[in-house]
Structure 1
Amino acid sequence: MARLERTTALDDATAVARARDGDLEAYEILVDRYTVPAHRAAVLLGAGSDADDVVQESLVKAYRQLSRYRGDSGFKAWLLAIVANETRNLHRSRGRRDGLVLRAAARAANEPAPDPAESAMAAERRRLLVDQLRRLHDRDREVLVCRYLLDLSEAETAVTLGLPKGTVKSRTARALAKLREHLSGEEGTDA
């Protein structure tokens, strides 16, 4: 069976069960399936150029901790929680909390527009948004990154950040209000 067929034919629960029983090929399917989202999460949560290392360490930890995976949430959310923790560890160990997430997000969002004027205005709006996101507390920035830049659901964000779902909901609302307040303080900005 071709690798692509194996990857799509095996669901997460079956792959996890087989990997727990020592089937490395089953875990390889999970790695193939979730390396890209894990890398994206690591970059957007602030790992920057160390995202590859964070993802690799997260995948190794996930494999070692498969016995702890209960299946309450999806494997993706569980893995992204490990990625988030590894990224936080990176921040603590290096003392680099400010700006990494937002610079990566700004670079990723820098798609060329056909009209130079529109492109310049879009770049200025992104720069303004990034600047205002930087002003937010880390916990507010993290929840907004998960919900809107990583496009995670409230439940996935809760698992990823290790928070109750209600906390994610309220923190998201408060963070958006703070962000709107920061943006409305900027001259000529439509929050």
Structure 2
Amino acid sequence: MVARIRDGDSAAYGTLVDRYTALAHRTACLLGAGHEAEDVVQEAFVKAFRALPSFRGGASFRAWLLRIVANETHNLVRSRRRRAATELRAASLAPVGDGDPAAQALSDAAGAALLDAVRALPEKNRAVVVCRYFLDLTEGETAEVLGCPRGSVKSRAHRAFARLRELLAEPAKEAVGD
């Protein structure tokens, strides 16, 4: 597909845009773009189009594009000087399928607690959790998207999960103490 685009087939680029827009938008939202995600995605696709000559043929276009989206989002968050207050509004957790309203309420509460805990993580650890578990990227794709070694992805994920366990255990300890 990239070869067709390089040969001047603009419809092929339209196909790639159609294929990856939702994922790019979700990535931008989860990494902190919030209501500006559409702008980030649009800028990322423009930059990707301009940089296509530098794209390595055997590489993953998906990971390459998401790296651009991640960089654009990082630039946005940094320029807003609100690193610690990024939004994770695009993450959707699987709903409870049995139709039980009480179970659904518990699931919704657990999902909200999880998202709050993820928001509380340091940016680098949060980005790894978002890529690996909200976007379902492989370790290699996550490393490429975030521009870090695979080992860093593993260690950041380990630290993130240790912190998430602490954060999610705090309300349970408080409830037992009441």
Normalising by the residue count of structure 2, what TM-score does the alignment of the two structures yield?
Answer: 0.88
State the AA in 2 paired with 1:86. E
SS where residue 46 of structure 1 aligns?
Answer: coil
CA distance in 1, matches of 2:138, 2:8: 31
- Is residue 186 from structure 1 mapped to residue 171 from structure 2 by the alignment? yes
Greater mean deviation of Cα atoms: 16-25 or 91-100: 91-100
The alignment partner of 1:152 has SS state of coil
Q: Is the 8 A contact 1:73 1:159 kept in 2?
A: no
Partner of 2:60: 74
Matched, 1:124 2:109: yes
Match of 1:84 among 50, 64, 70: 70
How many equivalent pairs are there?
173
Give 1:82-161 correspondences, 5 Å limit.
82-105=68-91, 108-109=92-93, 111=95, 114-161=99-146
Q: What does residue 165 of structure 1 align with?
A: 150
2:93 maps to amino acid: A
Aligned to 1:47: 33
CA distance in 1: counterparts of 2:156 and 2:125, whole angstroms: 7
Q: Distance in 2 between matches of 1:40 and 1:21?
A: 30
Asked if the contact 2:28–2:41 (Cα under 8 Å) also holds between the matched residues in 1, the reply is yes
- Report if the CA contact (8 A) 2:96-2:103 is conserved: no
TM-score w.r.t. length of structure 1: 0.82
**4+ aligned runs moved over 4 Å, structure 1:** 110-113
Query: Which ranges of structure 2 fall in alignment gaps of 5 or more residues?
Result: none
Distance 1:155 1:102, change over 3 A: same
Partner amino acid, structure 2, of 1:109:
L
Give the Å deviation of 1:110.
7.9
Shift of 1:133: 1.5
Equivalent residue, structure 2, for 1:175: 160
Give the deviation of 1:103 after TM superposition: 3.5
* Contact in 1 for aligned 2:77/2:86 (Cα 8 Å): no
CA shift for structure 1 position 72: 4.8
Q: Structure 1 CA distance, aligned partners of 2:29 and 2:3?
A: 29
